[in-house]
Amino acid sequence: MVAPSSDLAAAAAPAAGRLAAVQDLARLLRLLFEAEREFVRTAPTLIPRVGAPELKYLLCQHVWESAGHARFLRERGRELSGFGAGESVRPALRRLFTEAVTPADADVALAGFYGVLKPALLAAYRHYLAVTDHLADWPSKRLVAEFIADEERHAREMARYLGSAASGPWATQLAAALAALGGLLGETAPRPLPPGFVWHQDASPYRHPDTCNRGPYPVCASVFGHDPAEVPIVRPWLVDPKTDARVVRIMVYVWLLMELDAVDYLSTVFFDTPEAPFDLHHDLARHLWDESRHSQFGFRQLPKLGVDLATVEHSLDLYVILVRMAPHERYALMTMEFEAGSFPTKAAVMDRIRELNDFEADTLLAFDRNDEQNHVRYGHRWLPEIMALCGETRPVEEFVRATQEKFRACAAQFGGRTPHGLPPERRLTGEKILRLVAGA
């Protein structure tokens, strides 16, 4: 039986009211999604600015976990009436997170994120749990409870890196901007900005640093070369079957440690693509976390083989060159040139390492290779999208070739500028690796 049109009209009015409870909670889930998404967009700007590798690794992990939170929130939200079909972020929220990246001092910026914004996100999740029904919204409740545990762990993990800036003037500035929103969920009454408040992003828009920070570790232009008296990774030795496999193992661990340069320059792409689809940033976050894990392979394994990390210079050339190129160019070179081009050499290295019956090294290199294959797939999926965001209309293949040429020109202009941080007698070199292996 079909209801008369008059009955349908009468039923339409209260329809929204029947789902009011669902829509109210869906709106909060949407705001949580937007906050996590903005953290993923902006927090990576901290990575090239902070120095300690362990802190860089931790930030990469937090960005990846936040991307996971956002993805689950979006998927759950799409099951509920009122979440919305798009992925746009409220301009006021974007302005708050954009403000957070502006301090020139990395410690101050870190304190803003982890002393103001992350506690606000934790409070927002707790507010959601307080207003949701334990049975009706059980799927969301279970997810949010897990995210709260992650946020509490993030705070514990970051506590040792936060100094006095966590309660300094910048924290006051950012807290005022947050209070003007009424919190990330609008759970408190908005407060007017204080008299004289100035948005730093208007006065001094953020730009990526010209070089990345490696804290206490010595730096150089590149760790690759042909002279064993100068560099630790001697290119011909990597593929020479006469090279001792133990030497190859140390050199490849240095190579893996140096994937920290990929961490630093990939982290710049998020902020430079604010209108990217969320799934693009989600996969960039996974890519970033993978590269940080690869770097940790070297960071953790080299000391076990007798290498003093204080003697290993960190190469900066790739960051210094790529940060002067556009985001779609950086991403094209990373996925279509550096990673795709590394497979033949890494395959030969894996075969040599297998001679050592070193299960741990075999495992780490196998996961590195698997991850890099995924990254190249990401490149094929997302490079056309990033090109479109940046207004690039050439075919992908033509653009990649042109970008390779541009990289060579930029390398000639900006590469090789970072002097050795240590003299040859103190830094790790190929010759020293030979002696280390001979004495093992």
The CATH number that applies at residue 144 is: 1.20.1260.10
Are 257 and 329 in a shared domain?
A: yes
Are 225 and 184 in a shared domain?
A: no
Are 37 and 181 in a shared domain?
A: yes
Are 379 and 324 in a shared domain?
A: yes
pLDDT exceeds 60 at position 13: no
Are 185 and 268 in a shared domain?
A: no
Are 305 and 398 in a shared domain?
A: yes
Q: What is the average pLDDT across 39-68?
A: 98
275 inside domain:
yes
pLDDT band (50, 70, 90) for residue 10: very low
10 inside domain:
no
Are 181 and 131 in a shared domain?
A: yes
Are 156 and 282 in a shared domain?
A: no
Q: What is the average pLDDT across 105-134?
A: 95
- The average confidence (pLDDT) of the chain is 94
pLDDT band (50, 70, 90) for residue 16: low
Q: What domain count does the chain have?
A: 2
pLDDT exceeds 50 at position 9: no
7 inside domain:
no
Q: How far apart are CA 221 and CA 261, in angstroms?
A: 11
130 inside domain:
yes
312 inside domain:
yes
Domain housing 362: 219-438
In percent, how much of the chain has pLDDT > 70? Answer: 95
Are 307 and 233 in a shared domain?
A: yes
pLDDT exceeds 80 at position 17: no
Are 355 and 262 in a shared domain?
A: yes
pLDDT exceeds 80 at position 12: no
Are 245 and 365 in a shared domain?
A: yes
Q: What is the average pLDDT across 9-16?
A: 48
- Whole-prediction pTM: 0.94
292 inside domain:
yes
